[in-house]
Chains A and B, each alone.
Chain A
């Protein structure tokens, strides 16, 4: 606790950091004292100011997240996750595992079968998400169309789009000092509102889509407003409220699907009517490829959030409140108003992410599973993206690729799709524990120290 004052910022490349570090520690002496005292013993003489000076759990977490803010740690985390994933593949395959029983007698058996399994699995992961050479040669000899070449990318982008929105939602709230665990609920409300507007409103094409998207955004915004206003007015913790609203949202969806006027009259199972084609997001590469305009909206949203955070007065307030609410209040910023706005915007983004799930190509009707896990995955995406809008977009792209590739890995290599989820979790765990990654790869201490101090430049 003594070292990391929250010093968020983009990695800066100029290595003037030693002097900076010295200055830094000078500047922070008072805080450092406050911070170390309570640790020093069971009866530390905490000066009165300590409770305020002591960073909150959230801010500490943020500081930790920033503390190893480099591409290096991210890439190494990916490598580690892939290694652990390989071990899991081997363990979960009985045939391969059995070769290990006689590994001392014939090690080549175990090694060869393991290599075949792991390399095949990851190759399929890649082919399913980025590029499949066979499809490419097939297109060259004319045995399949160009669509097959772009299919992996199309799948990746289809999975990416909603994650960008929920990731931005979580990241935006985080930057304002709030844990938005409610992306899932907000996305659920987004799905519900978007779908209702999509099949219940008879509107002309174009307008219908816009209205449906706005409805989805509104649904999410309402679900974000509730924790925001409760926090501002009553001090209720947003984590608890958003988690509870996730449940309420989920069961609201389950209940709503089977209501008259919502449920598909031709079906007995829990599925709603389909969204009118006029309210569906247009496909970008023809009907055979699933990629739709949602990905363009996602890019637009990323740009908008980046602008909001860095170039708008609201973003200034939000970042000030997130970094030091006391100073923000003293400077005349209404902290409570900012909390509400943050949550409304976060909900709005998640709601748009939800809309993607029912107005895009993944589904056109409400089912209990229509939202998938995009809200929760959004938390991981936000953390992986280091809470920066474009970082979040890239992280969503990675997660989208893992999803898309995971499908192929499952059908071609017989490796369970859940492995992808485990991989995603592992990546984030490694990123959240940068010290572990650094220790494993023996990153030089000097380098680590530089990371510590290089954090805080113009964000």
Chain B
């Protein structure tokens, strides 16, 4: 990094951008290697070390107290006290400082406004002012445009330019090509925790996209050609909001046939989670329909959808998939505990549950010392196998697998993939959602690319990665030419509830 430089860090979700920056900010400790500031190696034990070394960070999720005023939030952690007597806050001095800093850099904020009343873009500005009042030279902006409207993004870019003019260095983390090209002086592309290249902003979008997505050897999944049958799942004009009432799925049409795998690719946070949750009855649909085997299932309870023959591997196994305190056996019946043979009337049948658990553990190669071990003590891969075993152990019409191999070791990945393909081959319709492009390409018979709540294209699995990479960045081959350069983000591009790190 050089003074007065805007350095963009580009990479897919999970590439390690945020982790790297958290190390820089002292939140995580590096396992190896060192950080040099002005040629001196720097040991950061916490954010306060980073701040005193002149490093400031604006997080993707703001760290502001909603009921405090702008001034109070900015002084938080570095409270000014009156006359050196601790306990007496000197609000006036703090306020003066806020006004002074915001004027110097042209960052207009009302020092007396309460945070929760401010729009997101202004809140972000408060974060930036907060960092600047700590006298930082290097400012890290972690996915700053993810939550901004196009206008707010424009303003942010302006602010960044003025900061640059004032000699501050900025690390700008993003996965949006347009913004990078608009503002960065230098671009570093990170993939799977490694720097895969540096580029100048003159590089074409195609080059950047290729670097970002990579040209890895495709994860090969042994499979025969699909023999698609009738349509099992039909989604038409589906509209779904996310938790913050922001449109996440914006009119999606989708069909999955029996005996085929439809892969949904896309950068995480483009509505995939909401799409699946809506199909599963976990999230209300605002418009459109979901049809399973000719029957409307939107508005059904989750239990009813599951009973209708839908298997569901949720994307976050520790939150949605498993009860960690429960035994492996109990988790294996988590969604069928009240059905025969596992229950008769109100009573559970522990014997049947244990017997079936033993079989599943065998069949799905779950490595555990016993079926009565709490599932939380298993490795990630084995936990995932428990979920897959549970979902595949009943007759299915449709299997929905979200991030089926996230955080799973290679051996388990292969096993889970082969199970998914096996399920396809016995005639189940399969919908796989993954932010791992390799996984989607390996499993899918057709690939739908999601971008900002829409299916931006459906292509064959043999489509070149670069083309899919462009689609994931929102660029259709036809539209590529006439897209505006610095295409600003809109607020439906918000990352969803999963770790964006």
Contacts and interface: CB of A to CB of B under 8 A. Distances in A.
Contacts of A320: 323, 326, 334
B327 A332 contact: no
Most buried by B among A41, A47, A316, A332: A332
B22 A45 contact: yes
Given A20-B377, A316-B348, A326-B319, A46 B61 contact: yes
Interface residues of B, number: 67
B376 A7 contact: yes
B378 interface: yes
Interface stretch (A26-34, A380-388, A410-418): A26-34
A27 B303 CA distance: 28
Contacts of A9: 325, 374
Nearest to B501: A47
Contacts of A47: 18, 498-501
Interface stretch (A97-105, A227-235, A283-291, A307-315): A307-315
B47 A311 contact: no
A458 B76 CA distance: 46
Contact of A42 (B47, B348, B376): B47
Given A41-B27, A47-B499, A332-B301, A53 B323 contact: no
Contacts of B427: none
B306 interface: yes
Contacts, number: 177
B335 interface: yes
Contacts of B60: 45
A308 to B, nearest CB: 9
Most buried by A among B377, B380, B497: B377
Contact of B379 (A26, A37, A46, A326): A26
A319 interface: yes
A31 B318 contact: yes
Interface in B285-315: 301-307, 312, 314
B354 to A, nearest CB: 10
Contact of B302 (A26, A27, A329): A329
Interface in A378-432: none
Given A8-B325, A327-B322, A334-B303, A48 B334 contact: no
B48 interface: yes
B347 A45 contact: no
- Size category of the A interface is 35 or more
Interface string A1-40: 0000111110000001000100110111111001001001
Given A41-B26, A44-B63, A326-B320, A313 B314 contact: no
Contact of B499 (A34, A316, A319, A324): A34
A49 B379 contact: no
Interface string A271-288: 000000000000000000
B284 interface: no
A79 interface: no
A117 interface: no
Given A45-B27, A330-B314, A330-B320, A23 B378 contact: yes
Most buried by A among B303, B374, B378, B499: B374
A279 B407 CA distance: 63
A323 B324 contact: yes
A7 B374 contact: yes
Nearest to B353: A316
Interface string A45-78: 1111110110000000000000000000000000
Contact of B372 (A16, A324, A329, A458): A458
B347 A313 contact: yes
A106 interface: no
A16 B369 CA distance: 11
A313 B323 contact: no
Contacts of B383: 27
Contacts of B76: 42
A5 B321 CA distance: 16
A439 interface: no
A440 interface: no
Contacts of A44: 27, 47, 63
Contacts of B61: 45-46, 48
Contacts of B25: 41, 43, 45
A312 B347 contact: yes
B274 to A, nearest CB: 13
Nearest to B337: A316
Contacts of B95: none
Contacts of B498: 47-49
A32 B372 CA distance: 24
A424 B323 CA distance: 34
B496 interface: yes
A86 B376 CA distance: 44
B343 interface: yes
Nearest to B59: A45
B330 interface: yes
A49 B372 contact: no
A319 B348 CA distance: 13
A48 B26 contact: no
B494 to A, nearest CB: 9
Nearest to A47: B499
Contacts of B302: 329-332
B374 A332 contact: no
Contacts of A315: 348
B325 A42 contact: no
B128 interface: no
B47 A331 contact: no
B377 A27 contact: yes
Nearest to A24: B377
B277 to A, nearest CB: 9
A332 B306 contact: yes
Nearest to B269: A48
A312 B320 contact: no
A456 interface: yes
A312 B346 CA distance: 5
Contact of B330 (A42, A49, A316): A316
A102 to B, nearest CB: 45
Contact of A23 (B304, B377, B407): B377
Given A311-B347, A311-B350, A457-B372, A42 B499 contact: no
B337 A329 contact: no
A457 B374 contact: yes
B314 A319 contact: no
Given A330-B314, A332-B303, A5 B376 contact: yes
Given A45-B59, A311-B347, A456 B282 contact: no
A311 B347 CA distance: 6
A324 B495 CA distance: 23
B414 interface: no
Contacts of A42: 47, 63, 76-77
Nearest to B378: A27
A43 B61 CA distance: 10
A313 B346 contact: yes
A333 interface: yes
Contacts of A328: 323, 334
Contacts of B18: 45, 47
B78 to A, nearest CB: 9
B338 interface: yes
A8 B324 CA distance: 10
Interface in B158-216: none
B46 interface: yes
B501 A330 contact: no
B241 interface: no
Contacts of B379: 23, 26-27
B282 A329 contact: yes
- For the complex of A and B, list the 9 residue pairs with the smallest distance between their C-beta atoms, beginning with the closest: A332-B303, A47-B499, A41-B47, A331-B335, A456-B374, A43-B63, A330-B320, A331-B334, A313-B338
25 contacts: A9-B325, A23-B379, A24-B376, A28-B318, A31-B318, A34-B499, A42-B76, A45-B27, A45-B501, A48-B495, A48-B498, A49-B499, A52-B319, A312-B348, A313-B348, A320-B326, A323-B326, A324-B324, A329-B320, A330-B280, A332-B306, A333-B303, A334-B303, A456-B377, A457-B374
